[in-house]
């Protein structure tokens, strides 16, 4: 019996809800007709109840725009501003173009609708390459062939974007990356064996954190928003190790030596600096954004720590690296190309121009958005 009663209550509530929605849709049409005919004072009462409960989101946007125009025409600027702010709360990036009513266009220009700040998160792949700046290998450079090859890794970045204007923003980022590159050295005519080719291969792996500081410019179009940026990034190397393989072709055959995860952290400069250049493309989704980003980090610091590369006695790993694999590193810079996908959460705060204060800015970062 109770289940039957609840079912009928549910059905009746659905019927009343549909009836109310239909009535509100009719009220909106009537209000629009009244506006076109110049019967302005009847419009607020037609829309008020449905704005509380009954309109869909799109209907509310249309109703608030109609109310804003109505209050402008009946010379009630305070109510017009209140209605326009209600509209912006529903549609923060609402655009009024020159084909709409000129009064609404002028009012819209008094407000900044772009967010004060945005939160951004992304992740993707990176490719690391090496630029040699000083040769210091342990082999005779005439008898060997050294090759550095790019390696693949991954990057994760979170950022806070501070918007100075619709187009220009400044970002403070937090980055974690895993980077790799490969080194090969073929040594010829060694050990007195004719045409001998000893081979040494290394895969260097590093775990790094960075704090990129970025200035960007975004071009806003209808759907896709391209952007470019440049900046600077201090980086800290948490750990560097290498997988090593040596193939020695002696007179008795092949002598193969292999080690994984030889710790090279002590012979790498842990604090390094990079210049950052990038481009990207954003696509709006509701009031947030998806984006793809392509970034190139240019190494400004040398990676080799020359003060520690000969600490054979105190560092067993360096002993293994230097003597078992005959490595005396060249000095190099490390560059990185990354391709990431991400998502942006803007923090909207519609406000009049010249009304951004320190209190409002800090509140925009930490306060939750009020419920509609």
Angle at 216 between CA 111 and CA 273, to 5 degrees: 145
Mapped onto helix, strand or coil, the DSSP state of residue 31 is helix
Mapped onto helix, strand or coil, the DSSP state of residue 309 is coil
* pLDDT tens per residue across all 372 residues of the chain: 555 555 454 444 444 444 446 788 888 888 888 888 888 888 888 888 888 877 888 888 888 889 998 998 888 988 988 888 888 888 887 777 766 678 888 888 888 777 889 999 999 999 999 999 888 755 555 567 889 999 999 999 999 999 988 899 999 999 999 999 999 988 765 555 555 678 889 999 999 999 999 999 999 887 789 999 999 999 999 999 999 998 887 666 778 889 999 999 999 999 999 999 999 999 988 888 999 999 999 999 999 988 887 776 677 888 888 888 878 888 999 999 999 999 999 988 777 776 544 455 555 555 554 443
CA distance 225 to 77: 34
Please tell me the predicted confidence (pLDDT) of residue 296: 98
Please tell me the predicted confidence (pLDDT) of residue 160: 97
CA distance 317 to 334: 22
Q: Cα 300 vs. chain centroid, distance in angstroms?
A: 23
Rg (CA), the chain: 32
CA distance 44 to 27: 11
- For strands 331-347 and 253-263, give the pairing: unpaired
DSSP 184-226: EEEEES-TT-TT-EEEEEEEEEEEEEE--EEEEEE---SSEEE
CA distance 201 to 259: 11
CA distance 309 to 321: 10
State the angle between helix axes of 77-90 and 57-73 in degrees (0 to 180), rounded to the nearest 10: 160
Residues 6+ apart with CB under 8 A from 140: none
CA distance 241 to 317: 10
Please tell me the predicted confidence (pLDDT) of residue 120: 96
Please tell me the predicted confidence (pLDDT) of residue 367: 55
Mapped onto helix, strand or coil, the DSSP state of residue 72 is helix
State the angle between helix axes of 43-52 and 57-73 in degrees (0 to 180), rounded to the nearest 10: 150
- Cβ atoms 200, 187 nearer than 8 A: yes
CA distance 204 to 196: 26
Measure Cα distances from 116 to 179, 223, 299, 349 in Å: 34, 21, 32, 7
Measured distance between the N- and C-terminal CA atoms of the chain, rounded to whole angstroms: 38
Residue 311: how many other CB atoms lie within 10 Å: 15
Please tell me the predicted confidence (pLDDT) of residue 140: 55
CA distance 125 to 152: 7
Angle at 273 between CA 271 and CA 237, to 5 degrees: 35
Half-sphere exposure of 211 (CA within 13 A, CB side): 3
Residue 58: how many other CB atoms lie within 10 Å: 10
Residues 6+ apart with CB under 8 A from 41: 74
pTM of the model: 0.75
Characterize 138-163 residue by residue with b for buried, 16 or more Cβ atoms within 10 angstroms of its Cβ, and e for exposed: ebeeeebebebeebebebebebebbb
- Burial environment of residue 122 by CB neighbours within 10 A (0 to 12, 13 to 18, 19 or more): buried
Please tell me the predicted confidence (pLDDT) of residue 344: 96
């Amino acid at each position: 019996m109770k289940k039957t009663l609840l079912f009928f209550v549910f059905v009746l509530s659905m019927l009343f809800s549909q009836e109310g929605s239909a009535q509100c849709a009719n009220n909106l049409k009537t209000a629009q007709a009244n506006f076109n005919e110049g019967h302005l004072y009847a419009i607020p009462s037609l829309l008020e109840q449905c704005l509380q409960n009954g309109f869909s989101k799109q209907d509310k946007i249309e109703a608030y725009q109609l109310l804003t125009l109505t209050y402008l025409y009946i010379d009630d600027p305070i109510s017009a501003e209140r209605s326009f702010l209600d509209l912006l709360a529903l549609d923060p990036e609402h655009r009024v173009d020159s084909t709409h009513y000129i009064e609404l266009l002028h009012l819209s220009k008094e407000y900044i609708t772009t967010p004060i700040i945005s939160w951004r998160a992304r992740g993707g792949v990176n490719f690391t390459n090496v630029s040699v700046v000083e040769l210091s290998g342990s082999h005779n450079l005439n008898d060997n062939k050294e090759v550095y090859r790019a390696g693949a890794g991954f990057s994760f970045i979170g950022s806070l974007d501070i918007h100075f204007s619709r187009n220009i923003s400044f970002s403070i980022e937090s980055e974690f990356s895993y980077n790799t590159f490969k080194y090969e050295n073929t040594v010829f005519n060694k050990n007195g064996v004719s045409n001998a080719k000893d081979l040494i291969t290394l895969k260097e792996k590093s775990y790094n954190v960075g704090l990129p500081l970025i200035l960007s410019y975004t071009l806003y179009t209808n759907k896709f928003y391209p952007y470019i940026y440049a900046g600077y990034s201090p980086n800290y190397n948490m750990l560097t190790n290498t997988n090593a393989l040596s193939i020695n072709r002696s007179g008795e055959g092949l002598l193969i030596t292999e080690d994984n995860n030889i710790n090279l952290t002590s012979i790498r400069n842990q604090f390094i600096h990079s210049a950052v250049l990038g481009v990207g493309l954003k696509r709006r989704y509701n009031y947030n954004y998806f984006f793809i980003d392509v970034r190139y980090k240019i190494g400004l610091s040398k990676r080799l720590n020359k003060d520690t590369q000969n600490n054979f006695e105190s560092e067993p790993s360096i002993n293994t690296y230097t003597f078992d694999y005959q490595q005396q590193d060249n000095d190099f810079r490390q560059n990185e190309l990354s391709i990431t996908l991400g998502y942006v959460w803007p923090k909207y705060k519609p406000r009049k121009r010249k009304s951004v204060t320190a209190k409002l800015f800090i509140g925009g970062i930490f306060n939750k958005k009020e419920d509609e």
